[in-house]
């Protein structure tokens, strides 16, 4: 099968289009013929070795954890799925090796859910990691009806989903973003404010009593402004700043979950959440896809169409 691989850590230049054997299928896994995947910031961070202290890598590595595709083969004990089922998934395992930027991937059933019929392959391939990150973070922060939520980096891949999901849960959402992306945040249902020295005053002008929840998706110490923008019992979580525990916050790392994926897919089917695609690349242009994702100049998800 054709696959994108890298045999050492480095920049986009280490990515190569290669031929690999079809993956073996374990007893609780299925073989998925990949239609689309997407590039998330974690993909190029793993490729550059930033997570080497956290996760073992077995080279050559096939990058990517998002997948949308069709089940081609089932394992010995996979009653949840059958050959021909259309699925989407967040296929992260404990070792960085057999990812989703390939024509086929062996995926544990716990990482998959059925693809909504009305969702394109590109949209389905862009949804899992970023959508799950937003959904699980908001749930762990107990966001619900009447809450006011501040989302830092509301125009990013995870942020765009977080704004929409929080709104669907009945919350009011304030979102930090650059001025050029304010209309985008408004279109998602959020109220935009700009980054920088005036951010605290802008949030307080919108919510004089302070926000109930802060979700930090950008890092760089921005979570430290939480006491200035929040209520006395504000709930803080971050996917980008491990030091938030020092100020009473919680650090999140997204987990594969079939049940959460199914809930996310249902939100899309109801129209509560839409998937924004920035650009789609063919498999042969995976380097360009990684470069665009890493540039930071992306509104929506970067997708790789495999077949």
pLDDT of 225-258, one tens digit each? 999 999 999 999 999 999 999 999 999 999 999 9
Distance between CA atoms of residues 208 and 238, nearest Å: 23
Integer CA distances (angstroms), 41 to 10, 32, 38, 75, in order: 14, 23, 10, 31
DSSP reduced 3-state for 91: coil
pLDDT score recorded for residue 299: 86
Name the helix (H) or strand (E) containing 183. Answer: helix 182-188
CA distance 77 to 25: 11
The residues near 282 (Cβ < 8 Å, ≥ 6 apart) are 304, 305
What span, in angstroms and rounded, lies between the C-alpha atoms of 180 and 251? 29
Tally of CB atoms within 10 A around 3: 27
Predicted confidence at residue 108, as pLDDT, reads 98
The parts of the chain modelled with pLDDT lower than 50 are none
**DSSP secondary structure of 43-90:** HHHHHTTTTTTTSEEEEEEE---EEEEEEEEE-TT-TT--TT-EEEEE
């Amino acid at each position: 099968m054709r696959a994108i691989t890298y045999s050492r850590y480095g920049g986009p230049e280490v990515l190569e289009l290669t031929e690999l054997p079809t993956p073996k299928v374990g007893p609780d896994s299925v073989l998925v013929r990949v239609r689309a995947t997407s590039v998330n910031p974690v993909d190029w961070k793993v490729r550059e070795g930033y997570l080497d202290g956290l996760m073992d890598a077995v080279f050559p590595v096939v990058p990517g954890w998002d997948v949308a595709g069709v089940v081609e083969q089932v394992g010995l004990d996979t009653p949840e799925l059958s050959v021909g089922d259309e699925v989407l998934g967040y296929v992260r395992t404990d070792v960085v090796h057999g990812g989703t930027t390939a024509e086929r991937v062996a995926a544990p059933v716990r990482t998959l859910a059925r693809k909504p019929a009305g969702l394109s392959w590109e949209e389905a391939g862009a949804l899992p990691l970023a959508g799950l990150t937003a959904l699980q973070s908001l749930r762990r922060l107990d966001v619900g009806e009447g809450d006011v939520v501040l989302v830092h980096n509301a125009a990013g891949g995870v942020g765009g989903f977080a704004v929409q999901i929080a709104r669907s849960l009945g919350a009011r959402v304030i979102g930090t973003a650059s001025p050029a992306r304010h209309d985008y945040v408004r279109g998602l249902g959020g109220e935009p404010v700009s980054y920088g020295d005036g951010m605290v005053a802008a949030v307080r002008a919108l919510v004089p009593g302070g926000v109930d929840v802060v979700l930090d998706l950008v890092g760089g110490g921005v979570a430290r402004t939480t006491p200035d923008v929040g209520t006395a019992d504000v709930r803080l979580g971050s996917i980008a700043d491990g030091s938030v525990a020092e100020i009473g916050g919680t650090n999140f790392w997204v987990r594969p979950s079939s049940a959460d994926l199914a809930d996310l897919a249902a939100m899309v089917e109801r129209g509560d959440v839409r998937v924004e695609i920035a650009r789609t690349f063919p498999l042969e242009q995976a380097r360009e896809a990684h470069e665009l994702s890493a540039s930071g100049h992306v509104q929506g998800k970067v997708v790789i169409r495999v077949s």
